[in-house]
Amino acid sequence: MEHLADVVNGDGGLVHRGRHVDLEWLWQVDAVPYHVRIQHGLVVELVRGPVLMRSHRFAVRGPADSWERFWAPMPRPGFHDLFAMMKTGRASIDGDLQPLMANLRYFKEVLAAPRRLADGHHG
Amino acid sequence: MAEFEPVTGRYCTLDIEGRRCRIYIEEAGSGVPLLCLHTAGADSRQFRHLMTDPAVIDRFRVIAFDMPFHGKSNPWAGFQDEEYRLTTGFYTAAVLAVADALELERPAVMGCSMGGRLVLHLAGSHPERFRAVIGLEAADHQQPWYDTEWLHRPDVHGGEVAAALVSGLVAPQSPDEFRWETLWAYQCSGPGVFKGDLHFYRRDSDFRDRIHMIDTTRCPVFLLTGEYDFSCTPTDTLRTAKDIPGVEAEVMEELGHFPMSENPARFRTYILPVLDKVARL
């Protein structure tokens, strides 16, 4: 998680795809919420929560086990996609979903970005 | 001199449930007619690899057409004032109309996803018309995994969101080139078309109460589903297969919801043995 900004901001194509994204969202791993601030597709701030009364447009939540399997270099069926995990209750989304759905490829690629670290392609 | 593929395309105008529809039809090869039905929100380009595979077209006349609103088949006149919603009746009539137009004699029919659902209906309702049906990513029904309202609204690009949603249905092992070619069809889809197809797939075509209609001694049924397909899951397909005596069902490893287009080399290792059996029928 700590390397999310490096991976996302170092990918010019991904940043370009998120150029219209300017918001804060929440990525929850187990009980730990991470507040992720995006400006023009760049991850400009990542704060490990909880932070009292800090708001966000939408949240993506799941247990650490789900994310670890999701980030495997070659994930197993059911752990290879956010919606696959949602269908089986291994992840969830809530809040104002419009910016997520309007930029779905961007956010799915941000969620998958840590897979590149596991893959050894970065860092 | 450029090397041309053996695929040719033609148009014909057909009357389908009272609608005048100009239909684009592609074909390649000769032998047993094999009519191919594309997935929801896509078009017949999904079968282009099958149409250039000598192991297939040496024995089969492979035919694929674009449903109205898809690919090179335009919407019918007056579409601009309607909400497009595909029904089981219209989809069935379209397939029969194309088979009649081409004067196909008991073709085999292969459909993927919504096409896979339809081939179950065809086997149940029109066994005399088809020598066999092949359902790819097919089941009697399945659980929805997102709200289709997101597919057609002014503040979300329909093509972008459709492609981003179904991108997860492609197996991670599938080559990037073919993954993105598969997704391109979704990115190109007309406004509301994918959503309208899903009206058929999710609401109108539930096959659970009709599955007893299938008699595989009259029309053999083959089912193939990719292990990474979480829309029509292997569990959905195998559950369906349990209720069809005589069916042949197989789960395809390292494939997703679009086997013929996302990883043609891997798909052929599964489809060629099935086509061998169909050729012998």
Predicted TM-score (pTM) of this structure: 0.96
Mean pLDDT of the residues in chain A: 95
Q: Do A108 and B228 touch (CB under 8 A)?
A: no
Query: In chain B, whose CA is at the least distance from the CA of A97?
Result: B150
Nearest to B228 among A80, A82, A83 (CB): A80
Tell me the one-letter amino acid at B28. Answer: A
Which tens digits make up the pLDDT trace of A70-94?
A: 999 999 999 999 999 999 999 999 9
What is this model's ipTM? 0.95
Quote the CA–CA distance of B175 and A44 in Å, as a whole number. Answer: 33
Nearest to B230 among A74, A84, A104 (CB): A84
Query: In chain A, whose CA is at the least distance from the CA of B232?
Result: A84
Which tens digits make up the pLDDT trace of B50-91?
A: 999 999 999 999 999 999 999 999 999 999 999 999 999 999
Find how far residue B116's CA is from the centre of its chain.
6
Quote the CA–CA distance of A6 and A13 in Å, as a whole number. Answer: 14
Q: Do A86 and B145 touch (CB under 8 A)?
A: yes
Query: In chain A, whose CA is at the least distance from the CA of B159?
Result: A102
Q: Do B160 and A108 touch (CB under 8 A)?
A: no
Spell out which residues of chain B touch residue A87, defining contact as CB-CB under 8 Å. Answer: 143, 145, 230
pLDDT for the residue numbered B79: 97
Query: In chain A, whose CA is at the least distance from the CA of B148?
Result: A101
pLDDT for the residue numbered A119: 61
Quote the CA–CA distance of B159 and A76 in Å, as a whole number. Answer: 27
Query: In chain A, whose CA is at the least distance from the CA of B174?
Result: A74
Residue B16, helix vs strand vs coil: strand
Which tens digits make up the pLDDT trace of B197-218?
A: 999 999 999 999 999 999 999 9
pLDDT-based confidence at residue A123 (cuts at 50, 70, 90): very low
CA distance B156 to chain A (A): 5
Quote the DSSP letter at residue B43.
-
Which tens digits make up the pLDDT trace of B7-54?
A: 999 999 999 999 999 999 999 999 999 999 999 999 999 999 999 999
CA distance B171 to chain A (A): 8
Which tens digits make up the pLDDT trace of A101-110?
A: 999 999 999 9
Quote the CA–CA distance of B114 and B235 in Å, as a whole number. Answer: 17
Spell out which residues of chain B touch residue A82, defining contact as CB-CB under 8 Å. Answer: 168
Quote the CA–CA distance of B158 and B186 in Å, as a whole number. Answer: 9
Q: Does A121 score more than 70 pLDDT? A: no
Helix then strand then coil, in percent of chain A rounded to 5, is 35, 25, 35
Among B194, B171, B196, B200, residue whose Cα is nearest residue B258: B171
Q: How many CA atoms lie within 13 A of B103 on its CB side?
A: 0
Q: Do A102 and B227 touch (CB under 8 A)?
A: no
Please tell me the total number of residues recorded for chain B in this structure.
Answer: 281
Strand ranges (E), chain B: 8-16, 19-28, 32-37, 60-65, 108-112, 132-136, 221-226, 248-252
Cβ atoms of B41 and B162 closer than 8 Å: yes
Q: Do A104 and B146 touch (CB under 8 A)?
A: no
pLDDT for the residue numbered A8: 97
Q: How far is CA B16 from CA A109, B91, B101, in A?
A: 42, 9, 12
Residues of A near B (Cβ–Cβ under 8 Å) read: 74-75, 77-78, 80-84, 86-88, 97-98, 101-102, 104-105, 108
pLDDT for the residue numbered B114: 97
pLDDT for the residue numbered A122: 44
Quote the CA–CA distance of A98 and A102 in Å, as a whole number. Answer: 6
Which tens digits make up the pLDDT trace of A20-40?
A: 999 999 999 999 999 999 999
* Phi, psi at B173, each rounded to 5°: -80, -15
CA angle A98, A103, A106 (to 5 degrees): 145
Quote the CA–CA distance of B212 and A46 in Å, as a whole number. Answer: 56
Q: Do B156 and A78 touch (CB under 8 A)?
A: no
pLDDT-based confidence at residue B275 (cuts at 50, 70, 90): very high
Which tens digits make up the pLDDT trace of B97-150?
A: 999 999 999 999 999 999 999 999 999 999 999 999 999 999 999 899 999 999
Q: Do A80 and B227 touch (CB under 8 A)?
A: no
Which residue's structure tokens are 């889809």? B189
Quote the DSSP letter at residue B54.
H
Cβ atoms of B9 and B66 closer than 8 Å: no
pLDDT for the residue numbered A1: 82
* Phi, psi at B216, each rounded to 5°: -70, -10
